[in-house]
Amino acid sequence: MRNGFLRSRASGFTLIELLVVIAIIAILAAILFPVFAQAKNAAKGAVCISNMKQLAAASLMYTTDYDGIWYPLARYEPLAGFADQATWLGYDNNNDVSTTDGYWGRVDKPALHPIRPGFLDPYLKNDGIKRCPSMPGEWQMAIAANGFSPAFPSAYYAAHPEVEGNEYGPGAKTQVMVNGTFDFTGASESEIEEPADTLAAWEHHASVPLCNFLQPVDWFSGPPPDELLKDHFNLLHVGGTNTFWCDGHAKRLGYGALKRPMFSVRKDIY
Protein backbone atom coordinates (compact mmCIF):
# COMPACT_ATOMS: atom_id res chain seq x y z
CA MET A 1 0.00 0.00 0.00
CA ARG A 2 2.76 2.37 0.91
CA ASN A 3 4.61 1.61 -2.33
CA GLY A 4 1.47 2.34 -4.32
CA PHE A 5 1.11 5.69 -2.55
CA LEU A 6 4.70 6.62 -3.39
CA ARG A 7 4.19 5.68 -7.04
CA SER A 8 1.07 7.84 -7.09
CA ARG A 9 2.97 10.81 -5.67
CA ALA A 10 5.82 10.29 -8.12
CA SER A 11 3.47 10.21 -11.09
CA GLY A 12 1.73 13.30 -9.78
CA PHE A 13 4.95 15.30 -9.74
CA THR A 14 6.08 14.19 -13.20
CA LEU A 15 3.83 16.62 -15.07
CA ILE A 16 4.89 19.55 -12.90
CA GLU A 17 8.52 18.67 -13.33
CA LEU A 18 8.03 18.38 -17.06
CA LEU A 19 6.44 21.81 -17.22
CA VAL A 20 9.29 23.26 -15.19
CA VAL A 21 11.84 21.71 -17.55
CA ILE A 22 9.97 23.02 -20.58
CA ALA A 23 9.85 26.49 -19.07
CA ILE A 24 13.58 26.39 -18.33
CA ILE A 25 14.34 25.24 -21.87
CA ALA A 26 12.18 28.02 -23.30
CA ILE A 27 13.98 30.61 -21.18
CA LEU A 28 17.39 29.27 -22.16
CA ALA A 29 16.39 29.18 -25.82
CA ALA A 30 15.23 32.79 -25.67
CA ILE A 31 18.59 33.74 -24.17
CA LEU A 32 20.86 31.55 -26.27
CA PHE A 33 19.31 31.68 -29.75
CA PRO A 34 20.21 35.37 -30.26
CA VAL A 35 23.71 34.57 -29.01
CA PHE A 36 24.00 31.73 -31.51
CA ALA A 37 22.69 33.99 -34.28
CA GLN A 38 25.24 36.64 -33.39
CA ALA A 39 28.00 34.05 -33.37
CA LYS A 40 26.90 32.80 -36.78
CA ASN A 41 26.83 36.32 -38.19
CA ALA A 42 30.23 37.02 -36.69
CA ALA A 43 31.61 33.89 -38.36
CA LYS A 44 30.20 34.98 -41.72
CA GLY A 45 31.69 38.42 -41.20
CA ALA A 46 35.07 36.82 -40.54
CA VAL A 47 34.82 34.86 -43.79
CA CYS A 48 33.88 38.05 -45.59
CA ILE A 49 36.86 39.99 -44.24
CA SER A 50 39.07 37.04 -45.22
CA ASN A 51 37.63 37.31 -48.73
CA MET A 52 38.50 40.98 -48.76
CA LYS A 53 42.08 40.26 -47.75
CA GLN A 54 42.41 37.71 -50.56
CA LEU A 55 40.93 40.15 -53.08
CA ALA A 56 43.36 42.78 -51.87
CA ALA A 57 46.29 40.39 -52.25
CA ALA A 58 45.07 39.42 -55.72
CA SER A 59 44.84 43.10 -56.66
CA LEU A 60 48.44 43.72 -55.67
CA MET A 61 49.60 40.61 -57.54
CA TYR A 62 47.80 41.94 -60.61
CA THR A 63 49.54 45.30 -60.37
CA THR A 64 52.90 43.54 -60.00
CA ASP A 65 52.27 41.56 -63.18
CA TYR A 66 51.08 44.63 -65.09
CA ASP A 67 53.93 47.03 -64.35
CA GLY A 68 52.26 48.77 -61.44
CA ILE A 69 48.94 49.49 -63.20
CA TRP A 70 45.66 48.71 -61.45
CA TYR A 71 43.09 46.62 -63.28
CA PRO A 72 40.34 48.61 -65.00
CA LEU A 73 36.83 48.18 -63.67
CA ALA A 74 35.79 47.02 -67.13
CA ARG A 75 37.25 46.91 -70.61
CA TYR A 76 35.96 46.38 -74.13
CA GLU A 77 37.44 43.03 -75.00
CA PRO A 78 35.40 40.78 -77.32
CA LEU A 79 35.57 37.08 -76.52
CA ALA A 80 33.66 34.38 -78.38
CA GLY A 81 30.76 33.02 -76.36
CA PHE A 82 30.77 35.85 -73.82
CA ALA A 83 29.86 39.49 -73.49
CA ASP A 84 32.22 41.98 -75.14
CA GLN A 85 32.99 43.51 -71.76
CA ALA A 86 35.61 42.04 -69.47
CA THR A 87 35.52 43.18 -65.83
CA TRP A 88 37.56 42.91 -62.68
CA LEU A 89 35.36 40.23 -61.04
CA GLY A 90 33.72 38.62 -64.04
CA TYR A 91 30.63 39.33 -66.08
CA ASP A 92 28.36 38.03 -68.79
CA ASN A 93 25.17 39.64 -70.01
CA ASN A 94 23.83 36.39 -71.45
CA ASN A 95 22.27 35.99 -68.00
CA ASP A 96 20.61 39.39 -68.14
CA VAL A 97 16.90 39.51 -67.27
CA SER A 98 16.43 43.23 -67.85
CA THR A 99 14.93 44.57 -71.06
CA THR A 100 16.85 47.83 -70.82
CA ASP A 101 20.31 47.14 -69.49
CA GLY A 102 22.75 44.28 -69.91
CA TYR A 103 24.33 44.84 -66.52
CA TRP A 104 21.44 43.54 -64.49
CA GLY A 105 20.83 39.92 -63.61
CA ARG A 106 19.28 37.70 -60.97
CA VAL A 107 20.93 36.29 -57.88
CA ASP A 108 18.11 34.04 -56.75
CA LYS A 109 18.73 31.34 -59.38
CA PRO A 110 21.84 29.70 -60.85
CA ALA A 111 23.33 31.41 -63.89
CA LEU A 112 21.99 30.12 -67.19
CA HIS A 113 25.29 30.65 -68.98
CA PRO A 114 28.97 30.57 -68.02
CA ILE A 115 30.26 33.71 -66.35
CA ARG A 116 33.16 35.36 -68.09
CA PRO A 117 36.27 35.25 -65.86
CA GLY A 118 37.39 38.54 -64.33
CA PHE A 119 40.82 40.13 -64.33
CA LEU A 120 41.46 38.85 -60.81
CA ASP A 121 40.39 35.26 -61.46
CA PRO A 122 43.93 33.98 -62.15
CA TYR A 123 44.90 35.14 -58.65
CA LEU A 124 41.92 33.66 -56.76
CA LYS A 125 41.42 30.12 -55.49
CA ASN A 126 37.69 29.99 -56.20
CA ASP A 127 34.65 32.10 -57.05
CA GLY A 128 33.40 31.93 -53.47
CA ILE A 129 35.99 34.55 -52.55
CA LYS A 130 33.99 37.04 -54.59
CA ARG A 131 30.90 36.83 -52.42
CA CYS A 132 29.99 37.53 -48.82
CA PRO A 133 28.40 34.46 -47.16
CA SER A 134 25.83 36.71 -45.50
CA MET A 135 24.30 37.50 -48.88
CA PRO A 136 21.82 35.13 -50.56
CA GLY A 137 21.80 33.94 -54.11
CA GLU A 138 23.90 32.37 -56.81
CA TRP A 139 26.39 34.15 -59.03
CA GLN A 140 23.90 35.28 -61.62
CA MET A 141 24.88 38.88 -61.14
CA ALA A 142 27.18 40.37 -63.58
CA ILE A 143 29.51 43.28 -63.51
CA ALA A 144 30.65 44.12 -60.00
CA ALA A 145 31.92 47.33 -61.53
CA ASN A 146 28.73 48.97 -62.72
CA GLY A 147 24.99 48.54 -62.57
CA PHE A 148 22.94 46.25 -60.37
CA SER A 149 19.23 45.67 -60.52
CA PRO A 150 17.28 47.28 -57.67
CA ALA A 151 15.00 44.23 -57.69
CA PHE A 152 17.67 41.66 -56.86
CA PRO A 153 20.14 42.42 -54.06
CA SER A 154 23.78 42.10 -55.03
CA ALA A 155 25.69 39.22 -53.54
CA TYR A 156 29.04 40.51 -54.66
CA TYR A 157 31.64 43.05 -53.87
CA ALA A 158 31.73 46.38 -55.67
CA ALA A 159 34.82 48.09 -57.01
CA HIS A 160 35.93 51.65 -56.56
CA PRO A 161 33.74 54.08 -58.50
CA GLU A 162 34.69 56.45 -61.21
CA VAL A 163 33.98 59.88 -59.77
CA GLU A 164 33.86 63.39 -61.10
CA GLY A 165 36.46 65.95 -62.06
CA ASN A 166 39.97 65.29 -60.78
CA GLU A 167 38.74 62.49 -58.54
CA TYR A 168 38.99 58.93 -59.76
CA GLY A 169 39.36 55.48 -58.33
CA PRO A 170 42.26 53.13 -59.02
CA GLY A 171 40.27 51.21 -61.62
CA ALA A 172 38.73 54.19 -63.38
CA LYS A 173 41.33 56.77 -64.34
CA THR A 174 39.58 57.29 -67.66
CA GLN A 175 36.33 56.09 -69.17
CA VAL A 176 35.17 55.99 -72.77
CA MET A 177 32.47 54.11 -74.65
CA VAL A 178 33.61 51.57 -77.25
CA ASN A 179 30.84 49.99 -79.33
CA GLY A 180 28.37 50.79 -76.58
CA THR A 181 30.58 49.24 -73.90
CA PHE A 182 32.33 50.94 -70.98
CA ASP A 183 36.08 50.92 -71.39
CA PHE A 184 38.19 52.05 -68.41
CA THR A 185 41.87 52.43 -67.75
CA GLY A 186 43.43 51.79 -64.37
CA ALA A 187 45.64 54.18 -62.43
CA SER A 188 49.29 53.50 -61.74
CA GLU A 189 50.45 52.76 -58.21
CA SER A 190 52.50 55.96 -58.25
CA GLU A 191 49.31 58.00 -58.77
CA ILE A 192 47.72 56.68 -55.59
CA GLU A 193 48.97 59.28 -53.13
CA GLU A 194 47.83 57.54 -49.93
CA PRO A 195 47.18 53.84 -50.68
CA ALA A 196 46.23 53.01 -47.07
CA ASP A 197 43.50 55.68 -47.19
CA THR A 198 42.14 54.91 -50.65
CA LEU A 199 39.22 52.50 -50.99
CA ALA A 200 39.54 49.72 -53.54
CA ALA A 201 36.28 47.82 -52.92
CA TRP A 202 33.43 47.37 -50.47
CA GLU A 203 30.25 45.38 -49.97
CA HIS A 204 27.57 46.80 -52.16
CA HIS A 205 23.89 47.22 -51.35
CA ALA A 206 22.07 46.93 -54.66
CA SER A 207 19.07 49.15 -54.07
CA VAL A 208 19.93 51.60 -56.83
CA PRO A 209 21.12 51.00 -60.39
CA LEU A 210 24.56 52.14 -61.55
CA CYS A 211 25.83 51.43 -58.10
CA ASN A 212 29.48 52.29 -58.53
CA PHE A 213 28.95 55.63 -60.15
CA LEU A 214 28.24 57.67 -57.05
CA GLN A 215 26.90 60.66 -58.86
CA PRO A 216 27.22 63.25 -57.60
CA VAL A 217 29.92 62.50 -55.06
CA ASP A 218 29.80 65.91 -53.48
CA TRP A 219 30.35 65.58 -49.76
CA PHE A 220 33.52 66.84 -48.11
CA SER A 221 33.58 65.17 -44.74
CA GLY A 222 31.54 62.52 -43.06
CA PRO A 223 28.97 60.38 -44.86
CA PRO A 224 27.05 61.67 -47.88
CA PRO A 225 23.81 63.35 -46.80
CA ASP A 226 21.82 61.82 -49.65
CA GLU A 227 20.11 58.53 -48.75
CA LEU A 228 20.60 57.45 -52.36
CA LEU A 229 24.33 57.36 -51.78
CA LYS A 230 24.02 55.60 -48.45
CA ASP A 231 22.22 52.79 -50.26
CA HIS A 232 25.45 51.89 -52.03
CA PHE A 233 26.92 50.48 -48.84
CA ASN A 234 25.80 47.18 -47.41
CA LEU A 235 25.80 47.29 -43.63
CA LEU A 236 25.22 43.56 -43.19
CA HIS A 237 27.78 43.17 -40.47
CA VAL A 238 27.80 44.63 -36.99
CA GLY A 239 29.75 47.84 -37.21
CA GLY A 240 29.46 48.46 -40.93
CA THR A 241 30.67 47.14 -44.27
CA ASN A 242 33.84 45.19 -45.04
CA THR A 243 36.32 46.89 -47.32
CA PHE A 244 39.76 46.54 -48.82
CA TRP A 245 42.19 49.30 -49.63
CA CYS A 246 44.89 50.07 -52.16
CA ASP A 247 47.75 49.15 -49.83
CA GLY A 248 46.32 45.64 -49.43
CA HIS A 249 44.73 45.84 -45.98
CA ALA A 250 41.10 45.01 -45.23
CA LYS A 251 38.86 46.28 -42.45
CA ARG A 252 35.27 46.93 -41.42
CA LEU A 253 34.17 50.48 -42.02
CA GLY A 254 31.21 52.18 -40.36
CA TYR A 255 28.97 54.29 -42.55
CA GLY A 256 29.65 57.31 -40.38
CA ALA A 257 33.37 56.98 -41.10
CA LEU A 258 33.02 57.58 -44.84
CA LYS A 259 34.81 60.61 -46.18
CA ARG A 260 35.05 61.90 -49.70
CA PRO A 261 38.85 61.61 -50.12
CA MET A 262 38.61 57.85 -49.52
CA PHE A 263 37.12 57.49 -52.99
CA SER A 264 39.89 59.19 -54.92
CA VAL A 265 43.50 58.26 -55.63
CA ARG A 266 44.27 61.98 -55.44
CA LYS A 267 44.32 63.68 -52.04
CA ASP A 268 46.01 66.96 -52.90
CA ILE A 269 42.78 68.34 -54.35
CA TYR A 270 40.94 68.44 -51.01
For residue 132, being part of any structural domain is answered with: yes
Decide if 270 is inside a domain.
Answer: no
> Would 78 be classed as within a structural domain?
yes
- Cα dihedral 163, 222, 233, 208 in deg (nearest 10): -60
For 102, the domain range is 16-262
Q: What percent of the chain has pLDDT over 70?
A: 62
The answer on pLDDT for 265 being more than 80 is yes
- Answer yes or no: is 97 within a domain: yes
Pairwise pLDDT comparison (137 vs 37), residue with the higher score: 37
Q: How far apart are CA 199 and CA 163, in angstroms?
A: 13
pLDDT the model gives residue 145: 37
pLDDT of residue 176 exceeding 50 = yes
Q: For 39-56, what is each residue's pLDDT tens digit?
A: 888 888 899 899 899 999
Phi, psi of 21 (to 5 degrees): -60, -45
Question: Does the pLDDT at position 8 exceed 70?
Answer: no
Residue 103 lies in a domain: yes
Confidence of residue 31 (pLDDT cuts 50, 70, 90): confident
Asked whether residue 7 is assigned to any structural domain, the reply reads: no
How many domains are contained in the chain? 1
Q: What are the beta bridge partners of residue 133?
A: none
User: Does 32 have pLDDT greater than 60?
Assistant: yes
Of the two residues 139 and 37, the one the predictor is more confident about is: 37
195 pLDDT tier (thresholds 50, 70, 90): very high
User: ω before 216 within 30° of 0 (cis)?
Assistant: yes
The verdict on residue 8 lying in a domain is no
Residue 100, in any domain of the structure: yes
